Amino acid sequence: MTLVAKWIDKKIKDKYIHYFEYDKFSQIAEIGKGGFGKVSKANLTNTGLVALKSFVDENSNIEEDELNRLDDEFVKELELLREVDYHQNINRVLGITKVSRCYILVLEYANEGNLRDYLKENFTSLKWENKIQMALDITCGLRFLHSKEIIHRDLHSKNILVNNGKLLIADFGLSKRLTEATTNSLANTKGMIEYIEPQCLKGIKYKKTKKSDIYSLGVLLWEISSGRPPFLDYSQEERYLLGFHISYNNLREKPIDGIPKEYQQLYQECWNDGPSSRPNIEKIYETLSQLNIEDSSHLLSPPPNINKIKNSNSDYNDDLNLSDYPSSIKESLKEIIKNFDVNIKKLSLENYVGNATYDNFGVNDNIKNCK
């Protein structure tokens, strides 16, 4: 028996975590897959629908060393969840189970899916008080994490779940306690590029902090106001260059009209380039709590085009991160950054992407030749 297995057995005996026999689950169906395993929904006897998060495919032929590493990841996420999951805006862990050699987290099932899908289906019927409450739900969950000195490190609209109208922060696969955060530049680029702060996209050693989550929260606040994922209208070729333009050209999504001015100012402050210029979670909570949505003087004009939002196609490769880039692109971007003098040259997306030609990997010839 491995050290991890001994630890888990002890926690079960100590009633730290509940263990469910795997044969108590039925009608198991996969509902999502990502870099940290897959999630399925299942019916648990005498309980109802639950979510099962596995870190490895139980049918795969995985090496023992890799299995031990994944068991370690399982324990880390379990420990973090058990520390914070009693908060109403954090996805609750119900217990664990095991099939073959693989441990599985048993989680609260969110009956309305993730925030991205929820906005696509329901945005046209949401009032501003609904949107402010959604923003507050995420903020309250993150506020609690930060009070425990935990940073999530992977906030985006697919990691926010909706259950009976309440938003829950989920997926703690990248989360760390502040004391455990490192300057690993590769780990910093894991996740969705659109939600990652500029410092992590520059290929430099950088230690994520609470302000890293604040940047991601700012993008989420924009997404709630727009009803669509960030940079949805960008082509796949343009999206390959997003990280460069976000980090060096201060590229951000355009503000949405028809929203409270304070709300717009808040998310723009959250995605400020410099971490020290971003508000802390208490300031965000205070601003959202005090936002007076009834005062028409707070509104910009006109409101968003809801028909365009409703008909948007969000089925693009929204899981793109720097580790997914073809090697040619990564080498080209390294060369760009090496030769780029931010004080002299400011590349604009319109000049270098809008009417550009691309090679087979989507790298703009103009940008590759920038000296």
Structure tokens, 306: 């809801």
**Distance from C-alpha of 202 to C-alpha of 186, rounded to nearest angstrom:** 11
Cα separation values, 40 from 19, 25, 113, 120, 164, Å: 18, 11, 12, 22, 19
Structure tokens, 92: 């609750």
**Distance from C-alpha of 116 to C-alpha of 125, rounded to nearest angstrom:** 15
Give the global pTM: 0.79
Report domain extents, the chain: 3-108, 115-324
pLDDT tens for the 371 residues of the chain, in order? 677 788 888 889 998 899 999 999 999 999 988 666 789 999 999 999 999 998 766 655 566 666 677 677 888 888 888 999 899 999 999 999 998 878 899 999 999 999 999 999 999 999 999 999 999 999 999 999 999 999 999 999 999 999 999 999 999 888 888 877 766 655 556 789 999 999 988 877 888 999 999 999 999 999 999 999 999 998 888 888 998 999 999 999 999 998 999 999 999 999 999 999 999 999 999 999 998 555 544 555 455 555 555 555 544 455 555 555 555 555 555 555 555 444 433 443 343 333 333 333 333 333 333 33
CA angle 192, 258, 165 (to 5 degrees): 55
Pick the CATH number of 3-108 from 3.30.200.20, 3.40.109.10, 3.20.20.20, 3.40.50.1100: 3.30.200.20
Annotated binding-site positions: 53
The pLDDT assigned to 170 comes to 94
Where do we find the tokens 């929203």?
A: 259
**Distance from C-alpha of 35 to C-alpha of 76, rounded to nearest angstrom:** 16
Q: Pairing relation of β-strands 25-34 and 37-44?
A: antiparallel
Cα separation values, 13 from 7, 9, 10, 52, Å: 10, 6, 5, 22
For residues 106 and 185, the answer to whether their CB atoms sit within 8 Å is no
DSSP 8-state code for residue 280: P
Name the superfamily (CATH) of residues 115-324: Transferase(Phosphotransferase) domain 1 (1.10.510.10)
Residue 243 amino acid letter: G
> From the candidates 71, 137, 154, 318, which is the catalytic residue?
154
Catalytic-residue membership of 57: no
- Rg for the chain, CA atoms, rounded: 22
Phi-psi region of 162 (alpha: psi -120 to 50; beta: other; left: phi over 0): beta
**Distance from C-alpha of 89 to C-alpha of 137, rounded to nearest angstrom:** 6
State residue 194 phi and psi, 5-degree precision: -60, -20
Annotated binding-site positions for ATP: 53
Q: Pairing relation of β-strands 48-54 and 37-44?
A: antiparallel
E strand map for 8-101: 25-34, 37-44, 48-54, 93-99
